[in-house]
Structure 1
Amino acid sequence: MSSFAPTNRRLLVLIGSGPGIGVATASLFASKGFSVALLREMPSDSRKTPAKVETFPVDAMDHAELKTALEAVHASLGPPEVVVYNAARVGFSQFGEFTPDELLDDFRINGVGIYVASVWAMPYLVELAATGGRGRHPSFLLSGSGINYSPLPPIFSLSMQKAAQSNLLKSLEQMYGPKGVHVARLDINGFVREDDEVMAPKRCAEQHWRLSQQDKDSWEHVVNVGDMDTLIKGMKAQGMM
C-alpha cells in the first residue's frame, strides 16, 4: 500500500484535510522532514501533494473505518510523533431546524472521531516520550475554535462539538501530559481564507508546527489564531447573526 518502508521516521498523522489548513499543515511538516499520513475522504491531488505525503481515504464519521485507516497508517508508515485532529463539518446549523440525525452526524465526526484517534495514538506517543530521546516531541493537537467557550447561534452544532472536544483534551492533558505527551489545541477564530493575513491557512499551519516543537517546560495548551470579538462583529456586519 505504501511507497515508504516503515522506519523510525518522524511522522505526522493529519486527520481531516481540505484545501486549506490540512494541505498547508501537511506541506509545512513535509518541508521540515516529516512524512505525513493524510486521512481524508477523497484522495489528494498528486499535483499538489508533496512527495512525503501519503493519503489514506477515510470517512471520519465512521468510527470503524477511521480505526481501520489508522491501523493501516501504522502498518505502512510506523508510529506517529504528531497527531493533528482537523476533521469537522464546518457549516451553519439553524436551531430548531437542524435535525437530531444531523446533530449526531456532527458528533460522530467531532466527538467519536477524536476519541478513536486519541485511543489509537496515545500508546505510541507515550512510548515515544519514554524512548524517543532529544529532538522528538510527541504531540496530540486539535484544530479547535473559541466557539467552544463562546458559542455562536448560527453554528450552534459546531459550537457544541468544539466544547466536547475541548473537554476531552483537558482529560487527555491530565492523563498523558505527565507521561510526556503534549496535548494542545489551536483555536481558529474566524473564517480561514488565503487572502486574509491573519486567517490564512499558512498561518494556522505555522502555529501547528510551533506547538508540535515545544519542549515540555515551554508547552502551551491553547493558542489563538484570529479573535472571537472580531469574528462576531464580522458575522453581525454580514447579517449572519
Structure 2
Amino acid sequence: MSGAVIIGAGPGIGQAVARRFARKGLPITLIARGGQTLRAVAGEVASLGAPLGASHGVPIVTLQADCTDRAELDAALDQAIDEHGVPEVAVYNAALVRADELGEFSVREHMEAWAVNVVGALNAAARLAPAMAARGSGTFLVTGGMPEPEPRYVSLSLGKAGVRTLVALLDQQYGPSGVHVASVTVDGPVALGTDFDPDDIAEHYWQLHTQPRHLWDREVLHAGRC
C-alpha cells in the first residue's frame, strides 16, 4: 500500500500531518536532516497505535536527507518508493525561517533560504510528480506562508511567493494527469493550543488530499480557528 511522504518532518506541522495520515492507516515515510528529530517524530506517530480495524500500527520509515542536496533527497525519495511504492501524498514542509530586513542578508544567505524554501520543493516534485502522473493519481502539497509580504522577513516572503508560483507551474503540468498540487498557507506562528495549533493545520492537508477532483483547491489559507 502506497502511503504518505513528509519532507521536513519536524515537531510542528510535519509531525501533525504525519499523525493525521497515519490515523487513516497510510504507511508513513518521514524525511528530515537530523536523526534525533526523526526519532522523536517517529515515536510520536507510532504512539497513535493501530488504526481502527488494524491489528498493528502503520509502517513508519525514517530517512535522513538534506533537502538542499538533490542527490540526498533523490536517494531518500527513491528509498521511500522502494519501501511503500509511489506515494499517495507527498508533503513538502521544509522551510528556513529567519528574520531579515531589506539589504541585511548576503547573496549566499538569500540563496540558502531559497534552496530550502523553494528549490527543495521543486526537486521533490521533479522526483515524485511524474510517477504520480503516470499512475493517474496523487497529491503533492507544500506548506506555504506569508500571504502578504512582511518587511521583517524578506527572504521568507520571497520564498513563499516562490512556493505559490511553483504550485501553479506544477498544477499546470501535472494537474491534467490527476495530480492534485496545492499549498497550505499558514498566516501565523505555529504553537500548540493556539489558533495556529499544528493539529488544526494538519486537517487542511487531509482535506486537500481527499477533495473530489472537480473541487480541487490550489491553496488553502489557515488564518486561525473559525
Preserved CA contact (<8 Å) 1:140 1:184: yes
- Cα-to-partner distance string for 1:204-232 (whole Å, 9 max, x where unaligned): 111101100111011111111116xxxxx
2:212 matches 1:215: yes
* Alpha carbons 1:86, 1:142 under 8 Å: kept: yes
Q: CA deviation at 1:190?
A: 0.3
Cα pair 1:25 1:202 within 8 Å, conserved? yes
The answer as to 2:144 corresponding to 1:144 is: yes
Match of 1:6 in 2: none
Of 12, 34, 37 in structure 2, the residue corresponding to residue 42 of structure 1 is 34
Aligned mates of 1:126, 1:95 — CA distance in 2: 40
Length-normalised TM-score, structure 2: 0.87
CA distance in 2, matches of 1:171, 1:40: 25
Q: 1:81, 1:128 within 8 Å by CA — same for their partners in 2?
A: no
Q: Which aligned pairs between 1:194-233 and structure 2 lie closer than 5 A?
A: 194-196=192-194, 198-226=195-223
Q: CA RMSD in A?
A: 1.5
Matched-pair contact (CA < 8 Å) for 1:16–1:22:
yes
Is contact 1:95–1:153 with CA below 8 Å preserved after alignment? yes
> For the Cα contact (< 8 Å) 2:33–2:64, is it kept in 1?
yes
Q: Which residue of 2 aligns with 1:193?
A: 191
Contact 2:2 2:84 in 1 (8 A): no
Query: Structure 2 unaligned runs (5+)?
Result: 47-56
Post-superposition Cα deviations, 1:39-68, rounded to whole Å, max 9, x if no partner, equal 111232253232532211111122221111
Q: How many residues align?
A: 209
Give the 5 Å matches for 1:40-79: 40-43=32-35, 44=38, 45=40, 46-50=42-46, 51=57, 52-79=59-86
**Which residue pairs with 1:238 in the alignment?**
none
Distance 2:5 2:201 in 1: 16
Q: Which residues in structure 2 correspond to 1:160-199 (within 5 Å)?
A: 160-196=158-194, 198-199=195-196
Correspondence list, 1:18-33, <5 A? 18-33=10-25
Contact 1:10–1:33 (CA<8 Å) still a contact in 2?
no
Deviation at 1:151, TM superposition (A): 0.7
Deviating above 4 A after TM superposition, structure 1's stretches of 4 or more consecutive aligned residues are none
For the residue of structure 2 that corresponds to 1:49, the secondary structure is helix
How far apart are 1:94 and its partner, in Å? 2.9
Could you tell me whether the CA contact under 8 Å between 1:16 and 1:40 is conserved in 2? yes
Q: Distance in 1 between matches of 2:65 and 2:112?
A: 15
Q: What corresponds to 1:95 in structure 2?
A: 102
Task: Tell me the SS of whatever aligns to 1:47.
Answer: helix
Contact 2:4 2:27 in 1 (8 A): yes
2:167/2:218 contact within 8 Å kept: no
Write the distance in 1 (CA, Å) between the matches of 2:140 and 2:206.
Answer: 12
TM-score by structure 1 length?
0.82
What is the rounded CA distance, in whole Å, between the counterparts of 2:171 and 2:73 in structure 1? 23
SS for the counterpart of 2:173 is helix
Q: Distance in 2 between matches of 1:208 and 1:16?
A: 15
Q: Is the 8 A contact 1:188 1:225 kept in 2?
A: yes
Post-superposition CA distance 1:98-140 (Å, at most 9, x none): 22111111111122211111111112211332xxxxxxx5111
Q: Percent identity?
A: 35
Partner of 2:8: 16
